[in-house]
Structure 1
Amino acid sequence: MLNRLFGKPKQEANTLTTLDKLNETLEMLEKKEKVLLKKAAAEVEKAKEFAKVRNKRVAIQCLKRKRLYEQQIEQLGNFQLRVHDQMIMLEGAKATTETIDALGTGAAAMKAMQKATNIDDVDKTMDEINEQTKNMKQIQEALSAPIGAAADFDEDELEAELEELEGAELEEQLLQPATMAPTAPVQVPAGWQLARPIPQKHTAEEDELAALQAEMAL
């Protein structure tokens, strides 16, 4: 049907050839138009020169030839419009043909894929995927399960042992003596220089030595 409406590939080649021919014709018409424009301008200049020497008859003849050239220029302009119109129509038809061919190719490819893809095959593929997913979960669960001696441990016994450890730790913390309150700082009279800080726990000999050092400092 498409071939009957828009032609076969051979006709498409003929369309391209026709477009090339129309382009050549358009270029030829444009060249002729430029030549005639130059000739018409030249006749105007001649008419001016003959008018200056008061040769009215020859000047009028120049203007007549100029009018003839202008008529041909107008005719060539109409020819160019016709050629442009024909080219636009052919290019539009070519674009329409290519679009319909592309759509037809796409529809045929879609139809072929639908034929190749059976709904039963899709269902079968999805079942296989679900089965593989289920098997993978079972494998992961089997790998994560404890094995060997660890598998024989009783979880309840382990939790009871952990509670005993926590209770023993708490009892040990309660039996520890309370921490001693910090000793009040020693007031040192102004001007006294201590050789070194007096530790919080010291002996009587150390007290005497500290007092002697203080007196020496005075």
Structure 2
Amino acid sequence: MMFSRLFGRPKEEANPISTLDKLNETLEMLEKKEKVLQKKIQAEVEKARDFTRAKNKKAAIQCLKRKRLYEVQIEQLGNYQLRIHDQMIMLEGAKATTETVAALRTGASAMKAMQKATNIDDVDKTMDEINEQTENMKQIQEALATPIGAAADFDEDELEAELEELEGADLEEQLLQPAVTAPAVQYTPASQQLARPTRQQAREEDELAALQAEMAL
């Protein structure tokens, strides 16, 4: 309590949103005062016209003086409004800058956390393990593909030479073998087969021919 009495209460940190709201409220208040002064100026002008028509010059001049005072106040209010507008623009820019910096700081923290979770040494170690496992698997596959037992004793050159001999023998046998010509099959149309006479028909025709010869004699 003694400390707060001597030095006062610590200033509360200003909230940009609440500050902008306060500035906006002040701006609206100044605009309302300006409208009131405009109405007062119009009223003084009307009074001055009436006094002028009534030949009351002194009263008309007083109306114009009050009109000038109201105009000075309006000019001051305009300056206040410009200052508030300027302050609002600066505050909005500062707010945007602060939010941008905060967002960048959050992104940097997230990036730092991810880099910490994925240490470069751990990455190198993991890649070494993967390469080692890949090499081991390659060696296992090569070992399984290597022939063992009797198959390992076969000479590939001898097998190829034997294969060439077999191919040469087959070619020589094909060249020496005579060409076989299939016997020609005589084909008799069905119409001719039907027209061929049977033995009984031939005998009957012979008897008929002999009979005709006797009758001719």
Give runs of aligned pairs for residues 6-155 of structure 1, distance below 5 A. Answer: 11=13, 14-41=15-42, 43-44=44-45, 46=46, 50=50, 54-55=53-54, 57=57, 60-112=61-113, 118-142=119-143, 155=156
In the superposition, the TM-score normalised over structure 1's length comes to 0.52
The equivalent residue for 2:212 is none
Identity of aligned residues (%): 82
Measure, in 2, the Cα distance between the counterparts of 1:111 and 1:176.
Answer: 87
Distance apart, 1:149 and its partner CA: 9.3
Distance in 2 between residues matched to 1:55 and 1:22, nearest whole Å: 47
Question: Is contact 2:48–2:63 with CA below 8 Å preserved after alignment?
Answer: no
Partner Cα distance (1:143, 1:54) in 2: 124
**Higher Rg of the two aligned structures:** 2
- Distance of aligned partners of 1:155 and 1:60 in 2 relative to their CA distance in 1, 3 Å threshold: farther
Give the number of aligned pairs: 173
Residue 73 (structure 1) shift: 1.6
Q: Specify the code of the residue in structure 2 equivalent to 1:24.
A: E
CA RMSD of aligned residues (A): 4.6
- Provide the C-alpha distance between the structure 2 equivalents of 1:143 and 1:68, rounded to a whole number of angstroms: 108
Q: Which runs of 5+ in 2 are unaligned?
A: 1-11, 179-185, 187-217
TM-score, with length taken from structure 2: 0.52
Instruction: Judge conservation of contact 2:44–2:63 (CA < 8 Å) in 1.
Output: yes
Q: Check whether the contact 1:47–1:60 (CA below 8 A) recurs between aligned residues.
A: no
For 1:92-134, what per-residue CA distance to the aligned partner results, in whole angstroms no more than 9, with x for missing partners?
Answer: 4434444444454455555555555555433322221111221
> Equivalent residue of 2:15, what SS?
helix
Deviations 1:146-183 (A, max 9, x none): 79998787543543354345545765787799xxxxxx
Which amino acid is the alignment partner of residue 73 of structure 2? Q
Structure 1 gaps, min length 5: 1-9, 178-202, 204-218
AA partner of residue 74 (structure 1): E
Give the direction of change, closer, same or farther, for the CA distance of 1:47–1:131 in structure 2 (3 Å limit). same
Q: In 2, Cα distance between the equivalents of 1:174 and 1:39? A: 133
Aligned pair in 2 of structure 1 residues 17, 171: CA closer, same or farther (>3 Å)? same
The Cα of 1:67 is off from its aligned counterpart by 2.7
